[in-house]
A and B are shown apart, each in its own frame.
Chain A
Amino acid sequence: MTTSLTHLQRLEAEAIHIMREVVAEAERPVMLYSVGKDSAVMLHLARKAFYPSPPPFPLLHVDTTWKFQAMYQLRNQMAADSGMELLVYQNPEAKARGINPFDHGALHTDMWKTEGLKQALDKWQFDAAFGGARRDEEKSRAKERIFSFRTASHGWDPKNQRPELWNVYNARKHPRTANGGESIRVFPISNWTELDVWQYIQLESIPIVPLYFAAPRPTVERDGMLLMVDDERFPLAAGEVPQMRSIRFRTLGCYPLTGAVESTAATLSEVIQETLLTTTSERQGRAIDKDAGGAGMELKKQQGYF
């Protein structure tokens, strides 16, 4: 007897199929791990795809040193639980120059994340990198293939993407040379929506960073964004005192760049409820998408951003 599979069962099967194709065809795959809820789902899917083996690739965290403390804690715990190797990369130049989100604006993202990612991929010679990006997040992502090809300099050419037929993926690329090599970014949860991710986390009881749930936290307001004071590096104005507010985060990045929402949603159901009733999009809390007008993300991707 067969029953119609639900949309989440189909999306799960698709993601697992994609991960297995990459492992079968790529030489050195890696999973980008940013500790957010999408990364949590990706890691869970990877464990399912290769069970009883541990996923046959390492996790790579391109660190900026400015993530929330709670993210570092969960990252270390999850790597230990999954039996996977955790690689952490911090761009040495950004470190030496003390690049930070308070003083350097867009340069912070560019050096720590975009450059850091390219350096990390080159350092370990990864030829395929899994990312948790979804097509519902942003309009240039909506156009991207599941297997997204990158030049040796990590560039994306949106006007010349490979056709992608059925679920038959072409993972062939030129071998590495002294100048680096072509690589593929692979997005197994391309077809998931934010709601799918939340519901899957609930159904599969996947651990996520507690910051997604509302709790009283120390906050200040900057340029209309509510920021959390996560450590002593946060520069406060003279006489400024962080306010305790019940807040949570819809996405997680560098804490000085990630806006919180005031909320009392303390359970997954409540978070999902709030997500569905909200009137602003998920990435709205992120500064990165507003750079360079409507084409912010497309431009960043062409330069090698994930």
Chain B
Amino acid sequence: MSETYITDALIAEDIDAYLAQHQHKDMLRFITCGSVDDGKSTLIGRLLYDSKMIFEDQLAALEDASKVSGTQGAEIDFALLVDGLTAEREQGITIDVAYRFFNTEKRKFIVADCPGHEQYTRNMVTGASSADAAVILIDARKGVLVQTRRHTYLCHLLGIRHLVLAVNKLDLVGYDQAVFDTIVADYANFAQAIGISEFTAIPISGFKGDNITSLSPHTRWYSGPTLIEHLEAVEVDGTREAGQDFRMPVQWVNRPNLDFRGFAGLIASGTVKPGDAVRVLPAGTTSTISRIVTLDGDLDEAQAGQSVTLCLADEVDCSRGNVIAAAAAPPEVADQFEASLVWMSDEALIPGRGYWLKLATQSVSATVQPPKYAINVNTLEHLAVKTLELNAIGVVELTTDKPIVFEPYAQSRPLGGFILIDKLTNATVAAGLINFSLRRAQNVHWQALDVSREAHAAMKHQQPAVLWFTGLSGSGKSTIANLVEKRLHALGHHTFLLDGDNVRHGLNKDLGFTETDRIENIRRVGEVTKLMSDAGLIVLTAFISPFAAERDMVRAMLPLGEFIEIFIDTPLAEAERRDVKGLYKKARAGDLKNFTGIDSPYEVPVRPELRVDTTSESPEAAAERIVDHILGARSEAWMPTI
């Protein structure tokens, strides 16, 4: 018996000392998952047995049952301990999640044993949704199977950050390191492909107890932690959430009499103190926390994971479904989303039909568009589908009948995860995870900022400006913009260069080169340059930006005089001759569609602030002239007024 488990001696000798120690333990929720017969239930039986969570009478009953229906010969079949339903014991399979509990000296654990069969995926997802960590079991004799990949995919989708790959039944392959290494390498390939950056692989035998609580003498080649050591060390999720911005979905309004109105809820993230400025969403009304009320007296502070009752200083409208959030950093409000769905009903998704959507404490009606695609979790292919069947995972767009307060699931489980409910049967038919909103709701109001754009600029001792370089591909925009930025930077100015290619790798990677996408490309860049110039920066952009309408759109977003259009005038023949990126060649060969100057037009600026003829002026000379223009011609407006 490892000393990490409950020490009987301490309990017997000094119960109060033991209780004091136990009282301060934190709690880790984890799941065991993986394919059928990979030994999940056996492992849990082992954990309970080793931590003395099995009592004598249960053990006696287990020994009896093992003889009747066990699968381990004369030995105890631990699986019978966790497969609690008659149908499960009869069929020897796990149908639903079983929750079990055990303690070590460091932690309390809640383990959810998840079914391995694909048909019970919804039960596996139930277990995984509230877990901090997942132990994915693999039978060393079988290696990575379809269900291993499926469960890994679901764990990752549901945001479980701590994955343990437990290569089990190692006793049946002679504790062979090569078998372990091969399986780990195979698994690592899949994990990487779906974006899992790290996992911990441990060679174990749940049946024999190798590397569960103490390092096994049979695997001397393994020097990592035991399973329990590892589970004692991983970070519990709630700790991370406490460090984020404050949000509390309102569950219930507490009004015992006319003098008291409190808002009850579970804090989803962040911390809160009396005096904190808050905003009630979706309305956006602001107020201040006046009290944090509990039966044990008012609190000075509360944090994520606590259920509290908040009082506000003002008589603001606030009810169930509203979210009280940090005033300076409120979550988004929207009514159209892209989301990932795990379909959980025998009845397939019906696009266009209304479902109830419940997210935190908000309930609204939602319609789902035909799926963009479903995912084959084995091959990771995107499949074109018209609907989502039971256990399918897909990406959809959905619309709610009212705007809801949310955050992307990757940022917040409580404000990014939702369920869909069938309006006729009341069944929970899908688990949903918001990826992002598609359109901001109409009633999102502009926040008046106390630190103005003038103040931002004054602190930098400069006048914000947007130097908008436009011209054909290969005309020299990036080269000259880069020289200009270096020069401004050397002169002590705060600048930023937005380059077309770079932006398309990130912010605009979902956009192509059709006319619509080009317009959206420039619109987004325009919004970003506006925010940056609000922050007081001198922004330089290098985009082909072929359409006059879009360049004028950005000009209109900015205060008069801040948009400086710089036309890098290189004739098509010259740009094509240079062809630094080989793009013209591809376009001429027909390999690139919608290429500006070839099969897509470039609208020459009529009255740019500056024009650079690269056939007669060197990039260095042009950069010098542009810097002089900025610092000289506009010098009369140089010192900003605050």
Q: Which residues of A contact B27 (CB under 8 A)?
A: 6-7, 10-11
CB of B314 closer than 8 Å to a CB of A? no
**A139-B84, A142-B82, A142-B98 known; A172+B356 contact, CB < 8 A:** yes
CB of B221 closer than 8 Å to a CB of A? no
Q: Which residues of A contact B6 (CB under 8 A)?
A: 276
Docked-complex contact A135 and B264, CB < 8 angstroms? no
Docked-complex contact A272 and B260, CB < 8 angstroms? no
Interface hit among B16-24, B226-234, B395-403, B561-569 = B16-24
1/0 contact string of B285-329 vs chain A (CB within 8 Å): 000000001111000000111110100000000001000000000
**A166-B130, A168-B360 known; A272+B82 contact, CB < 8 A:** no
Interface hit among B89-97, B501-509, B580-588 = B89-97
- Compute how far the CA of A54 lies from the CA of B6 in the bound complex, rounded to whole angstroms: 39
CB of B219 closer than 8 Å to a CB of A? no
CB of A96 closer than 8 Å to a CB of B? no
- Compute how far the CA of A81 lies from the CA of B344 in the bound complex, rounded to whole angstroms: 45
CB of B125 closer than 8 Å to a CB of A? yes
Docked-complex contact B421 and A170, CB < 8 angstroms? yes
CB of A53 closer than 8 Å to a CB of B? yes
Interface hit among A20-28, A217-225, A231-239 = A20-28
Q: Which residues of B contact A5 (CB under 8 A)?
A: 26, 238, 303, 305-306
Interface hit among B162-170, B195-203, B373-381, B411-419 = B411-419
- Compute how far the CA of A298 lies from the CA of B295 in the bound complex, rounded to whole angstroms: 37
* 8 A Cβ contacts from A39-53 to B: 47-53
Docked-complex contact B305 and A164, CB < 8 angstroms? no
B65: contacting residue among A161, A196, A294, CB under 8 A: A294
CB of A77 closer than 8 Å to a CB of B? no
Docked-complex contact B101 and A193, CB < 8 angstroms? yes
**A6-B25, A49-B264 known; A24+B252 contact, CB < 8 A:** yes
**A195-B22, A294-B65 known; A13+B360 contact, CB < 8 A:** no
Docked-complex contact B256 and A53, CB < 8 angstroms? yes
Q: Which residues of B contact A53 (CB under 8 A)?
A: 254-256
* 8 A Cβ contacts from B69-88 to A: 81-87
Interface hit among A66-74, A251-259, A279-287 = A279-287
B64 nearest CB neighbor, chain A only: A294
- Compute how far the CA of A8 lies from the CA of B421 in the bound complex, rounded to whole angstroms: 32
Q: Which residues of A contact B418 (CB under 8 A)?
A: 168
B57: contacting residue among A11, A164, A281, CB under 8 A: A281
Q: Which residues of A contact B110 (CB under 8 A)?
A: 191
Docked-complex contact A272 and B95, CB < 8 angstroms? no
Q: Which residues of B contact A202 (CB under 8 A)?
A: 19
CB of B426 closer than 8 Å to a CB of A? yes
Docked-complex contact A4 and B97, CB < 8 angstroms? no
A51: contacting residue among B239, B294, B421, CB under 8 A: B294
A9: contacting residue among B22, B89, B305, B426, CB under 8 A: B305
Docked-complex contact A272 and B19, CB < 8 angstroms? yes
1/0 contact string of B38-51 vs chain A (CB within 8 Å): 00000000000000
Docked-complex contact B251 and A21, CB < 8 angstroms? yes
Interface hit among B7-15, B436-444, B551-559, B590-598 = B7-15
CB of A76 closer than 8 Å to a CB of B? no
Cβ of B210 to closest chain A Cβ, rounded Å: 26
Q: Which residues of A contact B61 (CB under 8 A)?
A: 294
CB of B450 closer than 8 Å to a CB of A? no
CB of B214 closer than 8 Å to a CB of A? no
- Looking at chain A, what size class is its interface with the partner chain? 35 or more
Cβ of A178 to closest chain B Cβ, rounded Å: 19
Q: Which residues of B contact A243 (CB under 8 A)?
A: none
Docked-complex contact B85 and A4, CB < 8 angstroms? no
- Compute how far the CA of A176 lies from the CA of B186 in the bound complex, rounded to whole angstroms: 55
- Compute how far the CA of A167 lies from the CA of B85 in the bound complex, rounded to whole angstroms: 24
A21 nearest CB neighbor, chain B only: B251
* 8 A Cβ contacts from A148-192 to B: 158-159, 161-168, 170, 172-174, 190-191
Docked-complex contact B254 and A10, CB < 8 angstroms? no
B26: contacting residue among A2, A4, A23, A141, CB under 8 A: A4
* Number of A-B contacts defined by CB within 8 Å: 204
CB of A119 closer than 8 Å to a CB of B? no
A11 nearest CB neighbor, chain B only: B27
Q: Which residues of A contact B494 (CB under 8 A)?
A: none
* 8 A Cβ contacts from B229-254 to A: 236, 238-239, 242-243, 251-252, 254
Docked-complex contact B260 and A9, CB < 8 angstroms? no
Cβ of A274 to closest chain B Cβ, rounded Å: 9
A2: contacting residue among B96, B242, B309, CB under 8 A: B242
CB of A143 closer than 8 Å to a CB of B? yes
B99: contacting residue among A49, A54, A163, A191, CB under 8 A: A191
**A2-B303, A172-B356, A272-B15 known; A165+B428 contact, CB < 8 A:** yes
**A52-B260, A272-B15 known; A16+B307 contact, CB < 8 A:** yes
Cβ of B405 to closest chain A Cβ, rounded Å: 14
Q: Which residues of B contact A191 (CB under 8 A)?
A: 99, 101, 110
Q: Which residues of A contact B25 (CB under 8 A)?
A: 6-7
Cβ of A43 to closest chain B Cβ, rounded Å: 12
Docked-complex contact B266 and A17, CB < 8 angstroms? yes
* 8 A Cβ contacts from A98-146 to B: 135-136, 138-143, 145
A169 nearest CB neighbor, chain B only: B358
Cβ of A225 to closest chain B Cβ, rounded Å: 13
CB of B55 closer than 8 Å to a CB of A? yes
Q: Which residues of A contact B271 (CB under 8 A)?
A: 2
- Compute how far the CA of A8 lies from the CA of B22 in the bound complex, rounded to whole angstroms: 10
Q: Which residues of B contact A196 (CB under 8 A)?
A: 108
Docked-complex contact B57 and A284, CB < 8 angstroms? yes
Docked-complex contact A2 and B419, CB < 8 angstroms? no
Cβ of A22 to closest chain B Cβ, rounded Å: 10
CB of B365 closer than 8 Å to a CB of A? no
Docked-complex contact A51 and B295, CB < 8 angstroms? yes
Q: Which residues of A contact B12 (CB under 8 A)?
A: 273, 277
A270: contacting residue among B15, B238, B264, CB under 8 A: B15
Cβ of B93 to closest chain A Cβ, rounded Å: 12
- Of A14, A167, A203, most B-chain CB atoms within 10 Å: A167
- Compute how far the CA of A52 lies from the CA of B254 in the bound complex, rounded to whole angstroms: 8
CB of B58 closer than 8 Å to a CB of A? yes
- Of A10, A138, A284, most B-chain CB atoms within 10 Å: A10
* 8 A Cβ contacts from B117-175 to A: 122-123, 125-126, 129-130
CB of B460 closer than 8 Å to a CB of A? no
- Compute how far the CA of A203 lies from the CA of B19 in the bound complex, rounded to whole angstroms: 10
A24: contacting residue among B293, B359, B361, CB under 8 A: B361
Docked-complex contact B307 and A13, CB < 8 angstroms? yes
- Compute how far the CA of A4 lies from the CA of B123 in the bound complex, rounded to whole angstroms: 29
Docked-complex contact B55 and A170, CB < 8 angstroms? no
CB of A246 closer than 8 Å to a CB of B? no
Docked-complex contact A273 and B15, CB < 8 angstroms? yes
Q: Which residues of B contact A199 (CB under 8 A)?
A: 19, 22-23
CB of B56 closer than 8 Å to a CB of A? yes
A48 nearest CB neighbor, chain B only: B295
- Compute how far the CA of A142 lies from the CA of B81 in the bound complex, rounded to whole angstroms: 11
B125: contacting residue among A135, A143, A165, A203, CB under 8 A: A165
CB of A295 closer than 8 Å to a CB of B? yes
Q: Would you mind naming 11 contact pairs between A and B with Cβ atoms under 8 Å apart?
A: A2-B242, A2-B304, A13-B266, A13-B305, A51-B294, A51-B309, A159-B96, A162-B428, A163-B125, A165-B417, A273-B12
Residues of B near any A CB (own CB < 8 A):
6, 8, 11-12, 15-16, 18-19, 22-27, 55-58, 61, 65, 81-87, 89, 95-101, 103, 107-108, 110, 122-123, 125-126, 129-130, 236, 238-239, 242-243, 251-252, 254-256, 260, 262, 264-266, 271, 293-296, 303-307, 309, 320, 344, 356, 358-361, 413-414, 417-419, 421, 426-428, 431
Lowest 6 A-B CB distances belong to which pairs? A139-B84, A7-B27, A16-B307, A273-B15, A2-B242, A53-B256
